[in-house]
Amino acid sequence: MNSSAPSDLPTLADLWAAAELLGPVAVRTPLVESPGLNEQTGGRLLVKAEVLQRTGSFKFRGAYNRISQIPLEDRGRGVVAFSSGNHAQGVARAAALLGCPATIVMPADAPAIKIRNTQGYGATVVTYDRLTENREAIGAKIAAETGATLVKPYDDPGVIAGQGTVGLEIVQQCRDLGVTPDQVIVPASGGGLIAGVSIAVKAFHPDCRIIVAEPDGYDDHTQSIAAGKPVSINPGAATLCDALMAPSPGEITWAVNARTLAAGVVVTDAEVKAAMRRAFLELKLVVEPGGAVALAGILTGKVTGWGKTTVVVASGGNVDPVLFAGILTETD
């Protein structure tokens, strides 16, 4: 297995380098707001619409940045990744753009749209049973047999630096709006996105509170903050948020997040559904369940927005159309 991944913690300089690399290929996603959501939260609520990113989530950023770091002579052996869907699509698309074969290990019960899109970007998909098989072991075996480079979903400095460009854009866009963010709420699974965002935001706004949002049953970051050390939860709880089911923070991500996170918020499936409906009706955004947890955190009042400027990241929009239609027709 190619193990050329950098080992040091990502720095602000790494984020700027990623931003320069991604400039020509990634979407600079907007910060959007609505009077209705501002009135509901009692402050100014800005939503970072990563649902509009290539492949429908922030994951493209980290995948492209990491694969770009693979030496040209090694790219022909390809990359391998494991993912429930958004990282899969990000890696598949980034690999195609960089001329690199990709094999993606995905749970058999991943949303069909995510499997279909991953294959559509040119990747080979290998499915597994998430209850009885280990995706890391499957990915490592494929990498060992083929010489492919393993592109981890979050616990990699190059991936974190790419995701951190979301945070750099938030800083720049808030500056352009003439506002100072009081708090930034970010969804987390393994913690790569929030680690990157927190590096960027804290560098320019050290007093800004970085809050992690997680689904009920998968609140490993929230528990880790309370314990002051990494906590692993027992996976198996049912959740709509298929993108946020990591059982524990990553080693590298926690090394960053332990220093930068102020608090955690945990939301239920019902609260996530309500946030998805509000995002669609107020902002005209299609947000998948895992991508809506940060918005749910403030719309429920579990994080107060009163008198504050709050930025929430809507991290992905790859939701099954039938599921989404059903959620839209439900009532709060």
Backbone phi, then psi, for 46, in 5-degree steps?
-115, 130
314: β partners: 49
With 80 as the cut, is the pLDDT of residue 1 above it?
no
pLDDT in tens, 118-162: 999 999 999 999 888 988 899 999 999 999 999 999 999 999 999
What is the mean pLDDT of the segment spanning 221-225?
98
Backbone phi, then psi, for 232, in 5-degree steps?
-105, 135
Written as six digits, the tokens of 72 are 């040209």
If you average pLDDT over every residue of the chain, what do you get? 95
Q: How far from the centroid of its chain's Cα atoms is residue 212's Cα?
A: 11
Query: Where do the domains of the chain lie, and which CATH numbers do they carry?
Result: 12-57+158-329 (3.40.50.1100), 60-156 (3.40.50.1100)
pTM exceeding the 0.85 threshold for the entire prediction: yes
Count Cβ neighbours within 10 Å for each residue of 42-57 and write b for 16 or more, e otherwise.
Answer: ebbbbbbbbbbbbbbb
pLDDT in tens, 99-125: 999 999 998 988 888 899 999 999 999
pLDDT in tens, 54-87: 999 999 999 999 999 999 999 999 999 988 789 9
